Structure 1
Amino acid sequence: MPLPTRPLRKLGFLTIGLFDGNDPRPGHESTLRIIELGEQLGFDSAWVRHRHLQYGISSPVAVLAAATQRTTRIELGTAVIPLGWENPLRLAEDLATVDILSGGRLNPGVSVGPPMHYDQIKDALYPDTADAEDFSYERVRLLLSFVRGEPATSFSGTEGFEVFSDRVQPHSPGLASRMWYGGASLRSARWAGEQGINFLTSSVVKAEESEDFAQIQLSHIREFRARHPHGDKARVSQGLVVIPTDSATQEQKAKYAEYAAKRLPRTAAPQGPARMLFSPDFVGESAEIAERLYAHAAFQEIDEVAFALPFTFEHEDYVQILTDIATKLGPALGWHPA
């Protein structure tokens, strides 16, 4: 097996947190138990996806607030919060509050752009301002300014018995250094680097310069670091769908193979007008997956990952997958549990 360019320093995982719309509590409880298991297995981070008007986590900040009270060490991230649904000032308050509750373990990842199906949702989401909303990078800049403690108002001081601050409260000084941007294009990678924040790259990229997924992702990583004040030391986390089968039952192996096969056709060519290109899922024994990752041009330049769990599996499947990642695949990639 070839040696990695960089030993894997941080191992994380990502879950969508599916639930039954008629009985949502068990699904949310399963997500929290999975995060607890991740800490027990030594993972460095656990990340949750964001899904609005679907049967996945609609309020990741609330879910992670609960997770802060059930864990003590593991870092907790969002991958990602789409800011088109959010007010930057209010979100900054929520993020700082959860970061304080966690003891400084929150890693908020965000993205920009109009909400999905905006024409159908805009009257409910922004009944008076739908056509005036700015879904550009400016929304991230606002959030970053509030998180960094820059003034949010010209008013401060004492009024009667109440004391007012001119910046978001609570203020968590270390949170700004743990802000991430989730990008799939060269422009996003460049912008994130210029802002001096961290960069999340996932299993989908925009096919701008070629149709080779690994090479496209590599170009994003290099562009980000070329623009970042920290250069090659700037933090990048790669999120691919990885499903080790070392301890899986035959039934689980068949399920995983079928899942990957159904998703494989979309990886053959860029999809839609935006030319989005998807990575194949990594399924198999950990030694086999490690070899494929070592040969992956983008993986060779990172030392952090947040492997994405499949969306539609059962709790016991996630337990098996996470256990194999922590005990088999992670060590094969040079990682040591926390």
Structure 2
Amino acid sequence: MPPVPDTGAGPRPLRKLGFLTIGLFDEADPRAGHEDTLHLIELGERLGLDSAWLRHRHLQHGISSPVAVLAAATQRTRRIELGTAVTPLGWENPLRLAEDLATVDILSGGRLNPGVSVGPPVHWQDVKDSLYPDTGDAEDFGYDRVRRLLDLVAGRPASRFSGTEGIEVYSDRVQPHSPGLRERLWYGGGSLRSARWAGEQGMNFLTSSVVKAEGPDAGDLDFDAVQLSHIRAFRAAHPLGGAARVSQGLVVVPTDGASAAQRERYEEYARARLPRTRSPQGPARLMFAPDLVGPSEQLAERLLSLASYRAVDEVAFALPFTFAREDYEQILTDLATRLGPLLGWRPAG
């Protein structure tokens, strides 16, 4: 089913429901955490969820190589879409990444949805000597890095040479080439500029629980209004207009099937993070959405009250970082069996 055009006539029916996880693991036993992530992806498929997305975490106890993990997931699933939200391109060589993405997309049967972002690597001054010891000061961490990736994935030349040399055959484009992957590339943006740029490139747009407050009056706006302005700017710049794909990634935790101890832990997690939502934070003036925790009926009512939610028909709700496997199992089960149906969503077959 294609995306529903943005007519401004009210909420879109929820077409795609997915989840996003950091893939937390214990440094003393990293395999167990990675296996837990693969288990959640398999559970998501059994529940009929449409997509599973992995965050990208470097030098932390979260998945540092989501493309490798998703390669494993392709062999354990048959239907669920697999994405990254997002891969920061400052850590990547676009040519090598294009090869990896195409390979995993082929293995998945065309289910990969790579999400990317730009900017210098986190803690740049501390990692530059390990990451780019000779070229750090010359590296471009802007949009051109994404353009290179887009061109390479689309099959444009990567080399001036193609043909046979001895017994070796060389291609001038990335191999394998995966038709359709270019149309499934997403940009994760939190500013008006990035939203417009992603639309101009004909990409899809990931908007999360963090946006930038921009302009002298932005601090007087709430998160919902700012996020809606980004969605509208993206679609205004996109060749498909209102039909351009946008996925929203708020933290949404249904408690219908949770135990009393789980509910208390979830609510405390949201309370501890609430103060940062009351005003723009830091030099970048970041605005954070409140985490939504509670019974599915309350969550559905709250989501439908948000203009930004009503403007999309795809979501990938983010799982909190620090919970246990059984917590995530309960949350995913409630998303699929309680909250999703209240939002008009139907599980995939």
Give TM-score, length-normalised by structure 1: 0.99
How far residue 208 of structure 1 moved from its aligned partner, in angstroms, is: 1.0
The equivalences for 1:1-338 within 5 A come to 5-209=11-215, 210=218, 211-338=221-348
SS in 2 for 1:53: coil
Distance in 2 between residues matched to 1:208 and 1:248, nearest whole Å: 39
Q: CA–CA distance in 1 between the matches of 2:10 and 2:275?
A: 29
Q: Deviations over 1:231-275 (max 9, x none)?
A: 000000000000000010000000001000000001011110000
Matched positions, count? 336
CA apart distance, 1:5: 1.2
Distance 2:190 2:115 in 1: 13
Alpha-carbon displacement from aligned partner over 1:128-162 (angstroms, at most 9, x marks no partner): 00100000000000000000000011100000000
3-state secondary structure, aligned to 2:187: strand
Q: Deviation string for 1:162-217 (max 9, x for gaps)?
A: 00000000000110000000000000000000000100000000011423100000
SS state at 1:269 partner: coil
5+ long unaligned stretches in structure 2? 1-8
TM-score, normalised with respect to structure 2 = 0.96
- The answer to whether the Cα contact below 8 Å between 1:8 and 1:335 also exists between their aligned partners in 2 is yes
- Give SS of 2:104's match: helix
Report the Cα distance in structure 1 between the residues aligned to 2:255 and 2:18, rounded to whole angstroms: 18
**Which 4+ residue blocks in structure 1 deviate beyond 4 angstroms?**
none
CA contact (8 A) 1:4 1:333 kept: no
1:58-116 Cα deviation digits (max 9, x unpaired): 00000000000000000000000000000000000000000000000000000000000
Secondary structure of the 1:229 match is coil
3-state DSSP class of the match of 1:307?
A: strand
Letter in 2 for 1:280: P
Q: CA deviation at 1:4?
A: 6.3
Q: Distance in 2 between matches of 1:280 and 1:301?
A: 19
User: How many angstroms does 1:22 deviate by?
Assistant: 1.1
Code of the residue aligned with 1:154 in structure 2: it is R
Measure, in 2, the Cα distance between the counterparts of 1:318 and 1:49.
Answer: 15
Q: Secondary structure at the match of 1:55?
A: coil
In 2, the alpha carbon distance for the partners of 1:74 and 1:300 equals: 24
**1:312 is matched by which residue type in structure 2?**
T
Look up the equivalent residue of 1:248 and give its one-letter code: A
Identity %: 75
User: Residue type matched to 2:33 in 1?
Assistant: G
User: What secondary structure, in the 3-state scheme, does the structure 2 residue paired with 1:131 have?
Assistant: helix
Structure 2 CA distance, aligned partners of 1:162 and 1:290? 58
